[in-house]
Amino acid sequence: MKKLWIVLISLALVAAFCMPASAVDVKFSGSYYVAGDYYNADGDNDWDFTTAFFRQRLRVQTEFVVSPGLSLITRFDALEKIWGDQNWTGPESNVARRPAHVPGKENGALEQENIEFEQAYIQYMSKVGMWWIGYAPHDFWGTTFGDSTQTQALIQWILPLNQNWVIGAKYFKTYEGSSSLFNGYDRANDSDDNAYVGIAMYKTQDLEGGLKVAYRRIANFRDGELYDSGSSMYPPWLDDEPTIDGWLLTPYFIGQFGPVKVQGELEYWNGDMKFDRELESNPFTKDKKMEMLSVYADATVTFGPAYAGGRFIYASGDDPDTNKIEGSNFAPFWEANWGGKDLKQTLILWNEDVTNWAGDLTDAGLGPGVKNAYFYQIYGGYKWQDFDFFASVAYAQADEYVWDDQEDKDYGWEFDATATYKITNNLSYMVGVGYLKAGDFFKDKDDGDQWVDDVYVVTNKLTLTF
């Protein structure tokens, strides 16, 4: 028996050493940050919001190189939470998983699991282009404006035609509403959300431009269990099963002309919202045309260690007097972060970090991503050794009124300043302050109350990259 075991172990070792390696290389990259934030917002009617906390996140990306040109890429976030906050564990009977909404923080941070895998996809460099297949990075194109880099289930193909031209195509799915997949719940058939995208891009050393064309069909509102029409976030027609489809055109341009860098992007949506049924009792259930526009322009001039520039953003708002939806503040696109989350143009207004961690400081549902706005900003900075000083002044006003009792369209003025010190090549430290003098957009014209007047932010952040 002993000899038999020796033979079996020897055969197993021989087989193990003869097996081909499943990965010839493993590459790691990522980041870790710790940030401390102080927020204060005050207004009339005892509106006074003050909070201070530390937060952190570890992000690790791993590339398993199976063979030259073929990789499996994964990414996870760990301990993305506020220091000392125990709510993420959920009730004692369910300590292994946090609730969908943190108790008592319905408008605040939705903190993640201890470890949350966000990406897993194949990257294949074939003779006919590069392929991504799986849950992969999505929604980044052209300039930073309009980007909300996130994970999406997709199939993506990119082909360089020569040193200047690139073409590509993508299919992605945001929501799958198959009733059989969800074990026969009472859900509408074909209530999916998916899209088809095509791109063409031209690039030289100093010039870059491109066009993205996307068709998207959003039918998940037909799933009555997804949305609660009694909530102020969702309008009442969501229970009446609308289907949205249409085309999104996104051209962009980036140019470097000596010391001047100019960039711009346009997003234009044209589509329809249709209902399976029209109810006389609900005027919202009539089919509607949808047409929305956003424009971004930015110019920066560099002279030695100093730089200065200006920025303009327009995002159309919805005119309530028409039977057409024109607004980027329209609920489904609000959810989709029309205007993008990646461009943090200020420390307060439409800043994703504020919304995610502190909630709605303005108490007006602005959320991340510029929407329903004319936005103007001038900025400047100075780089000295390992320091980078930056300051900006911004003014914004609404394109359309949101409530009937609003006093004005003026969002107000915001003043920001930051200083970043590069401690090492991989470690940096930033401190910043921001102040928003809220305008009459936040005033009730009937009683004159300004529900938010002054908003202050003090922040600092230590970031390690590897």
Domain boundaries, the chain: 2-465
Beta 70-82 vs 115-126: how paired, if at all? Answer: antiparallel
| Arithmetic mean of pLDDT over the chain | 82
Concatenated DSSP letters for 91-118? Answer: SGGGTTS--SS-TT-TTS-----SEEEE
Beta 373-384 vs 454-465: how paired, if at all? Answer: unpaired
The rounded distance, in Å, linking the Cα atoms of 299 and 254 is 10
Residue 382 pairs in a beta bridge with 306, 389
Q: If we measure between CA atoms, which residue out of 64, 67, 217 comes closest to residue 134?
A: 64
Concatenated DSSP letters for 372-421? Answer: SEEEEEEEEEEEETTEEEEEEEEEEE-SS-SSTTB--SEEEEEEEEEEEE
The rounded distance, in Å, linking the Cα atoms of 174 and 193 is 5
- Residue recorded with tokens 């327009």: 314
Mark residue 134 as left, alpha or beta (left: phi above 0; alpha: psi -120 to 50; beta: remaining): left
CB-facing half-sphere around the CA of 211: CA atoms within 13 A: 4
State the DSSP code for 249: E
What mean pLDDT is predicted for residues 253-268? 97
Q: If we measure between CA atoms, which residue out of 71, 83, 66 comes closest to residue 22?
A: 66
The rounded distance, in Å, linking the Cα atoms of 437 and 452 is 9
Cα radius of gyration rounded to whole Å, the chain: 25
Alpha helix ranges (H) inside 287-383: 331-335, 352-357
- Tell me what pLDDT residue 273 has: 86
pLDDT tens digits, one per residue of 273-289: 887 766 555 656 678 89
Residue 460's H or E segment, with its range, is: strand 454-465
Give me the numbers of helices (H) and strands (E) for the chain, helices first please.
3, 19
pLDDT tens digits, one per residue of 108-149: 444 455 788 999 999 999 999 999 999 999 989 999 998 988
Band of the pLDDT at 464, cuts 50, 70, 90? very high
- Tell me what pLDDT residue 355 has: 85
Burial tier of 112 (Cβ tally within 10 Å: 0-12, 13-18, 19+) = middle
- Tell me what pLDDT residue 14 has: 40
Task: Look at residue 88 and tell me whether its pLDDT is greater than 70.
Answer: no
Output the furthest CA–CA distance in the chain (Å, rounded): 95
- Tell me what pLDDT residue 278 has: 64
CATH code of the region 2-465:
2.40.160.100
Q: Which long-range contacts (CB under 8 A, 24 or more apart) does 414-418 make?
A: 414/346, 414/347, 414/348, 414/349, 415/391, 416/346, 416/347, 416/348, 416/390, 416/391, 416/392, 417/389, 417/390, 417/391, 417/392, 418/347, 418/389, 418/390, 418/391
- Tell me what pLDDT residue 283 has: 59
Residue 18's H or E segment, with its range, is: helix 2-18
Q: If we measure between CA atoms, which residue out of 388, 379, 384 comes closest to residue 434?
A: 379
Task: Look at residue 188 and tell me whether its pLDDT is greater than 90.
Answer: no
pLDDT tens digits, one per residue of 226-239: 444 444 444 544 44
Q: Residues 97-106, buried b or exposed e (16+ Cβ, 10 A)? A: ebeeebeebe
